[in-house]
Structure 1
Amino acid sequence: MKKWIHRAVPLTIAVSMMVPLLAACSKGQGNTDTKTERVLRIATSMGFGDDDYFRQQFTEVFEFANPNIKIEMVQTMDDKYRYGYGRMAPGEKMPDPLEQLKKAMEGDNPPDVVMVNYEQLNDLVSSNLLTQLDPKIAQDKFDVSDYVPAVIDGIKKQGDGKLYALSPTFYSSALIYNKKMFDEAGVPYPKDGMTWDETFDLARRVAKGEGDNRKYGFAFSPYSGGDLFYSMDIYTAPLQLRVFDDKGEKMTVDSDQWEKVWKTMVQLNNEKIMPPVQDPRQMKERMMSTNPEDFNPFQHDDFLSSRVAMTIIGYGQIDQIVNANKSAANIKGFTPIDWNVVSLPTHQEAPGVGGYIGMNGIMGINAKAQNPDDAWKFIKFINGEDWARLKSKSNQQLVSRKKYLKPKDGLDFNIEAFAKLAPANRQDDYKIYREKQNIYQVRDIGRNVFQEVLQGKTGARDALKKWQSQGDAALQQLKDNPNAQIDMGAATAVPIAK
């Protein structure tokens, strides 16, 4: 489950920016009674009640514009789970936050509005716990035609073509590239709509040099300490490659498709198209031993250090690049980067589908809401044009309305690249990880055998067979005792299946 990104929205908002928001609340917003005091109850799938970030991000302006409506955050989880497993009793299993939310939605004093993760939305829809929004949208002539297709279509996919929620913001990734490195190699810049194969071919053409002077063509992450096994999730997710079956009881990695993926990654690694992964401990030692006068804060960022021509970044990382360029004169050894972004590469088997595209603020109306009118008023408010205009100036995430999807601070780059692809559906795996909280350990087995392939100790298919066998043994352990830590010794004792 995604954690909140604690970025406070300024508490003081200019009166001039509040005027259109107040006007929006007074026209066509359902219940127009502005005097009677009412309570609007909101619950999130995190379940921890009052949260400063939530209020600053979503409710602060609404409460200012509607002083007669009191926002009450509903707590559905015990506070001890907020701080991790350290405060839990030995063997205690954390309650499923989504199940706790569903209980609250059907309880005696249910929340009116619920906020969930993208992967959770379909569960609530199929359980008939949410109110369909299409009739309300049509009745109030609430315009959603300006929504980013990836957002609105992604939400509809979770509701069998219907809208049961809206999301005012989203987060996404794109492919960033260093123009100078392409110019020096005489290679054309990347473009929107490339396939992964086309991207890797460009990377081969721009990679050059040897040893410490090597220039690499592509990296899944700009950070030198990244782990290729986990970083390549963005490559495998659109292919719907599964590690387990639907029940999380049998492995599914001994397949031709998985073999093709691993061979592709190993080939890129062996050809030195991607930078080698650096040991985080060695990176720390080098950092501590560096003369303060020679310290480069970006020495472990392959993109800002101009060691890699293309890499994948999230929209929130743009600020780091912009700030680095602004401060270039004060950073020894750093050269400003001339850059732009294009949409993430896609697979021919899954056109138009990206990897890391998510939504922040997916909110729907509880089917048993006690105050459905104000619930719809609230959802319309934070998904309206005025809210989008305000947040586009201060929010590090992207607003869902295309009209306000523009670069900030006078920058000029291809911001539409972040909004071109539909989200990859990870519904089945999300459900498994939610129900079997220790199953992540089975992926660690895969990481270990993948390292053997990278080191040339074994072939890709044999390694996958090993993961399949060891993983099946580990899954059996979890089936016998869902709360148990997997006995890796027993798992690794299983022979490779022939």
Structure 2
Amino acid sequence: MKKWMKTSLAVCMSAALLAGCSFGSKGNSGSETEPSTLKVMYYDESSFFSEYGMVYSAVNPDVEIEVVNTSKIYERTNDGEIDYNEAYLQFIEEEKPDVIMIEPSQLTSLGDEGKLYDIENFVNEEKYNAAGLVPGLIDSMKNLGNGKLYGIPTSFYSQVIYYNKDLFDEYGVPYPTDQMSWAQIIDLAKMFPTDGEYPDRVYGLKMGWGQELSEIVNTLSQGENLQMFNADTLQMTIDTPAWNSLVETAISVMNSNSLFYDNIMWENEGAISNMDYYARDPFYSGKLAMRLDGNYLMQELENLSTYAQNPDDLIQNWDIVTAPVSSANPEESSYINYQGIFAINSQSTNIEQAWNFISYITGDEYARVKSKVTYGNMPLRSTYMKKDDDRNYDAFYKVRPSTYNNTMDYNKVPQIFQFEFYSLMQTELAKVSSGETTVAEALSTLQIKGDELLAQGMMSQEEMDKYWEDKYGEGGGMEVLPMDVVETEEIAEEEVVEE
């Protein structure tokens, strides 16, 4: 489904659902409101109204929303004279938005600088019903704000381990439980048989897409919150005993023949071309014990009964547990991310109306409306999460998002590192897989070459254009967004359920 179609679908469905909302000249608090203008900071006007503004304006007709486009921030950095954070502050100072769109990593710095308004008193008001938010959300936001509450996210993305209870029962393997480490999950995966060939054999675990050591290493390091570099000092931290042990674990599970990879299906496309689409996937067909995946998979599992040719032959008895957590900090997960955080400009002269907007799009009525439109992101209000008594849906929010991942500021990381390092890592670990080099030698090379990339400093737009032109030829120049922005947009795009 094309992106514009997804956007249109969201707009149309939201409009239809609003028939149950109250229209008129009252705000969502129910009191009479004076006509006012609210300046909101967002990526672009069209996306804003599709996602938030249309619904909010329908129930708050006396509020005129002006969207200030954040593309201006990137325009300011093109000449290389100022960095993103400075351009961001200039943008807020000049545009004076009432509502600020903010990344988790900025809650601490902007809060400490007095740029954000503390909204805790608003949140504590009974009518807002903070207790209805998913557990741990407020504490996570306050943790990022050094004890003060500056922002509320509008959604969150969460991955979990899905598992086939029938396969576990058949082979006498104990079920996975919440807050296991990757090492424990891998031990369970190795208990399943490894004989036979796809599509008939059983697999213990799917933890990524491709059959490359670098991908397994990245997945394991994410679970352990093991960082390859220090974002504050811009120094590599990958040549350590912890990283050596993790790569050895990745090699072990890769060689165990317990893993399923998507390329296995692609390599057998001719042989399975006559099979039902769903039956090709070993988890749907009951041949895969566990898989790490997002909440969108719930909808796909529900679709089996409607769209599969022989739904009775596919998985029925499944459940979920939390994604693997760090053995050092089992209360946090790198597989959960809060998204779409809005805060109030401390210099705003429209504080009450700014809170009216934030409270509505993070409130109960908005959650009810948006829950009818299927997205990859999870609702903030747990009441509107699909639940039944037989499945562990609390796994989606039982642990809080990783503090480290939420405070990483990729805007300070030299672009050349972001362009080059992960390809370099893929190459070096491929040499380990083929026996050309040892783990210790590969990590030493990555440490040295990574430090060289981190030392090169930030690039201007002109330098980035030349880099891409040299790499791909004339016309290869492109503007690159910070890694955290790109990742957020990719999640929003890829995890929309396509039916």
TM-score tier (shorter): 0.7 to 0.9
Say which SS state the counterpart of residue 324 (structure 2) adopts: coil
Quote the offset at 1:43 in angstroms: 0.4
The answer on 1:360 being equivalent to 2:363 is: no
Instruction: Report the counterpart of residue 120 of structure 1 in structure 2.
Output: 106
Query: What secondary structure sits across from 2:245 in the alignment?
Result: helix
Q: Any residues of structure 2 matched to 1:400-439 within 5 Å, and which?
A: 400-407=380-387, 413-427=391-405, 430-432=408-410, 434-439=412-417
Mapped to 2, the partners of 1:79 and 1:162 lie a distance apart of 26
Q: How does 1:451-462 map to 2 (within 5 A)?
A: 451-462=430-441
Would you say 1:380 and 2:380 are equivalent positions?
A: no
**Whole-Å Cα distance in 1 between the matches of residues 427 and 272 of structure 2?**
36
Question: Helix, strand or coil for the counterpart of 1:275?
Answer: coil
CA spacing shift, 1:428–1:141, aligned 2, 3 Å: closer
Q: Is the 8 A contact 1:146 1:402 kept in 2?
A: yes
Name whichever of 110-119 and 260-269 sits farther off. Answer: 110-119
Match of 1:13 among 13, 16, 22: 16
Aligned mate of 1:220, from 207, 224, 241 = 207
Aligned to 1:84: none
Question: Match of 2:59?
Answer: 65
SS in 2 for 1:25: coil
- Give the stretch that moved more between structures: 183-192 or 257-266: 183-192
Q: CA deviation at 1:97?
A: 5.9
Query: Deviation of residue 96 (structure 1)?
Result: 6.1
Post-superposition Cα deviations, 1:64-89, rounded to whole Å, max 9, x if no partner, equal 111110111112325998xxxxxx9x
For 2:296 and 2:39, locate their aligned partners in 1 and report how far apart those are by CA, in whole Å.
Answer: 30
Return the TM-score normalized by structure 2: 0.80
CA distance in 2, matches of 1:463, 1:277: 26
2:371 maps to which of 369, 392, 403: 392
1:67 partner letter: P
Q: 2:277·2:308 contact (CA, 8 Å) conserved in 1?
A: no
Matches within 5 A, 1:30-69: 32-34=31-33, 36-44=34-42, 46=43, 49-52=44-47, 54-69=48-63
The correspondence of residues 155-174 of structure 1 with structure 2, limited to 5 A, is 155-174=141-160
Give matches, 1:284-363, under 5 Å.
Answer: 287=269, 289=270, 294-298=274-278, 301-329=281-309, 335-363=314-342
**1:15 Cα deviation from its structure 2 partner:** 5.8
Superposed CA RMSD in Å reads: 3.7
CA 362–246 in structure 1, closer or farther in 2 if over 3 Å, else same: closer
CA shift digits 1:180-202 (9 cap, x unpaired)? 32222122322223232321221
* Superposition deviation, residue 451 in structure 1: 1.6
Q: Secondary structure at the match of 2:160?
A: strand
Determine if contact 1:249/1:479 at 8 Å carries over to the other structure.
no
The 3 A distance-change label for structure 1 pair 95 and 188 is: farther
Question: How far has the Cα of 1:305 moved from its partner?
Answer: 4.8
Q: How far does residue 312 in structure 1 lie from its aligned partner after superposition?
A: 0.7
Partner of 1:262: 247
Q: Corresponding residue for 1:491?
A: none
Aligned to 1:369: 348
Q: Residue type matched to 1:113 in 2? A: V
| CA distance, structure 2, for counterparts of residue 328 and residue 479 of structure 1 | 51
1:148 to 130, 134, 140: 134
Matched, 1:76 2:70: yes
SS in 1 for 2:40: strand
SS at match of 1:149: coil
Q: Secondary structure at the match of 2:429?
A: helix
2:174 corresponds to 1:188:
yes
The residue aligned with 2:195 is 209
- CA deviation vs aligned residue, 1:368-420 (integer Å, no higher than 9, x gap): 2232111011111122222223323334232222333333xx79532211111
Give yes or no for contact 2:173–2:191 (8 Å, CA) kept in 1.
yes
Deviations 1:16-71 (A, max 9, x none): 631499987144xxxx443x321111003x4xx3123x323222222111111011
The answer to whether the 8 A contact 2:115-2:347 is kept is yes
For residue 296 of structure 1, report the CA deviation from its aligned partner: 4.5
SS at match of 2:16: coil
The answer as to whether partners of 1:76 and 1:100 remain within 8 angstroms in 2 is no
Counterpart CA distance in 1 for 2:97 and 2:59 is 21
Which amino acid in 2 is paired with 1:63? Answer: S
Paired with 1:478 and 1:335, the residues of 2 have a C-alpha distance of: 53
Per-residue deviation, residues 150-193 of structure 1 (Å, max 9, x unmatched):
42222112101221011232110100012232222122322223
Check if 1:111 corresponds to 2:97.
Answer: yes
1:102 positional shift: 2.6
| TM-score, with structure 1 as normaliser | 0.80
Superposed displacement of residue 241, structure 1: 2.1
AA aligned to 1:13 is A
The residue number in structure 2 matching 1:492 is none
Q: Secondary structure at the match of 1:74?
A: strand
1:132 maps to what in 2? 118
Distance apart, 1:466 and its partner CA: 1.9
Kindly state the Cα deviation for residue 330 of structure 1 after the two structures are TM-superposed: 6.0
CA distance in 2, matches of 1:226, 1:144: 44
Query: Post-superposition shift, 1:259?
Result: 0.7
Structure 1 position 249, deviation (Å): 4.3
Which of 413, 423, 438 is residue 444 of structure 1 equivalent to? Answer: 423
Tell me, yes or no, if the aligned pair for 1:433 and 1:439 is still in contact at 8 Å. no
Structure 2: unaligned runs, 5 residues or longer: 472-499
String of CA shifts for 1:324-376, please: whole Å, max 9, x gaps: 34322269x97345322111122321111112211233111111223211101
Determine the C-alpha separation between the residues in 1 that align with 2:117 and 2:340.
17
Q: Residue in 2 aligned with 1:25?
A: 28
Q: Separation in 2 of the partners of 1:478 and 1:300?
A: 47
Greater shift in the superposed pair: 469-478 or 260-269: 469-478
For residues 11 and 348 of structure 1, the distance between their equivalents in structure 2, rounded to whole angstroms, comes to: 42
- The residue matched to 1:438 in structure 2 has which SS? helix
Unaligned runs of 5+ in 1: 82-87, 489-498
CA shift for structure 1 position 450? 1.4
Distance 1:75 1:365 in 2: 16
- What is the CA-CA distance between 1:479 and the residue it aligns to? 7.3
SS in 1 for 2:409: helix
* 8 Å Cα contact 1:21/1:386 also seen in 2: no
